[in-house]
Structure 1
Amino acid sequence: MSKPQKQIHLAAHFPGVNNTTVWSDPEAGSHIEFSSFAHFAKTAERAKFDFLFLAEGLRLREQGGKIYDLDVVGRPDTFTVLAALAAVTEHLGLTGTINSTFNEPYEVARQFASLDHLSGGRSAWNVVTSWDAFTGENFRRGGFLPQEERYSRAKEFLATTQELFDSWHGDEILADQESGVFLRDAKAGSFVHAGQHFDIHGQFNVPRSPQGRPVVFQAGDSEEGREFAASSADAIFSRYATLKEGQAFYTDVKNRLAKYGRRHDQLLILPAASFALADTDAEAEELARIVRRQQVSGATALKHLEFVWNRDLSSYDPEGPLPDIDPDVSDNHISKGRAQVRMYRDPLATAREWRELAAANNWSIRDLVINTGNRQNFIGSPETIARTINEYVQADASDGFILVPHITPTGLDAFADKVVPLLQEQGVFRTEYEGPTLRHHLGLAHPDDVQDEQRVAS
Structure 2
Amino acid sequence: MTTRHMSLGAFIMSSGHHLAAWRHPRAWAGGGLNFQHFKQLAQTAERGKFDAIFFADNLALMGTPELGQYTTAGDVFDPLVLLSGLATVTERIGLISTVSTSYNEPYLLARKFASLDHLSDGRSGWNLVTSATDLEALNFGREQHFEHDDRYQRAEEFIDVVTGLWDSYEDDAFVRDKASGTFFEAEKLHVLGHKGQHYRVRGPLNIPRPPQGYPVLIQAGSSEPGKALAARTAEVVFTAQQTLANAQAFYADVKGRLAGYGRTPDQLRVMPGISPVIGSSQDEADEKYQQLQDLLDPRVGLGLLAGMAGGFDLSGYDLDGPLPELPVSNSMQSRQALFIELARRENLSIRQLYLKIAGARGHHTVIGTPKTVADTLEQWFVEQGADGFNIMPPFLPEGLHDFVDGVVPILQQRGLFRREYSGTTLREHLGLQRPSNRYSA
The TM-score, its normalising length taken from structure 2, stands at 0.87
Distance 1:252 1:341 in 2: 17
Matched, 1:437 2:425: yes
SS for the counterpart of 1:94 is strand
1:25 counterpart residue number: 24
Alignment-mate amino acid for residue 185 of structure 2: D
SS for the counterpart of 1:98 is strand
SS for the counterpart of 1:377 is strand
Contact 2:101 2:158 in 1 (8 A): yes
1:303 counterpart residue number: 303
Distance 2:291 2:90 in 1: 34
Alignment-mate amino acid for residue 355 of structure 2: I
2:6 counterpart residue number: 8
Distance 2:223 2:328 in 1: 23
Q: CA deviation at 1:329?
A: 6.2
Distance 1:330 1:436 in 2: 44
Q: CA deviation at 1:133?
A: 3.4
Q: CA deviation at 1:41?
A: 0.4
2:185 counterpart residue number: 185
- 1:22-101 aligned within 5 A: 22-29=21-28, 30-61=31-62, 69-71=70-72, 73-101=74-102
TM-superposition CA deviations, 1:298-320 (whole Å, max 9, x none): 23234346556944738x997xx
Q: Which runs of 5+ in 2 are unaligned?
A: none
SS for the counterpart of 2:217 is strand
Distance 1:448 1:54, change over 3 A: same
SS for the counterpart of 2:193 is strand
Alignment identity in percent?
A: 36
- 1:324-363 aligned within 5 A: 343-344=335-336, 357-358=348-349
Q: CA deviation at 1:273?
A: 0.8
Distance 1:215 1:70 in 2: 28
Q: Which runs of 5+ in 1 are unaligned?
A: 332-337, 359-364
Alignment-mate amino acid for residue 49 of structure 1: F
Alignment-mate amino acid for residue 120 of structure 1: D
Alignment-mate amino acid for residue 434 of structure 1: S
1:361 counterpart residue number: none
- 1:98-137 aligned within 5 A: 98-137=99-138
SS for the counterpart of 1:190 is coil
Q: CA deviation at 1:162?
A: 0.5
Alignment-mate amino acid for residue 13 of structure 1: F
Q: CA deviation at 1:172?
A: 3.9
Q: Which one has a bigger Cα radius of gyration?
A: 1
1:271 counterpart residue number: 272
Distance 1:328 1:259 in 2: 34
Distance 1:401 1:330 in 2: 29
Alignment-mate amino acid for residue 137 of structure 1: L
Alignment-mate amino acid for residue 22 of structure 1: A
How many pairs were matched up?
Answer: 432
Distance 1:5 1:355 in 2: 38
The TM-score, its normalising length taken from structure 1, stands at 0.84
Please identify, of 365-374 and 201-210, the stretch whose mean Cα deviation from structure 2 is larger.
365-374
1:406 counterpart residue number: 394
Distance 1:99 1:330, change over 3 A: closer
1:370 counterpart residue number: 355
SS for the counterpart of 2:186 is coil
Root-mean-square deviation (Å)? 3.5
Alignment-mate amino acid for residue 211 of structure 2: P
Alignment-mate amino acid for residue 27 of structure 1: R
Distance 1:12 1:451 in 2: 35
- 1:85-234 aligned within 5 A: 85-140=86-141, 143-172=144-173, 180-187=180-187, 188-234=189-235
Please identify, of 167-176 and 195-204, the stretch whose mean Cα deviation from structure 2 is larger.
167-176
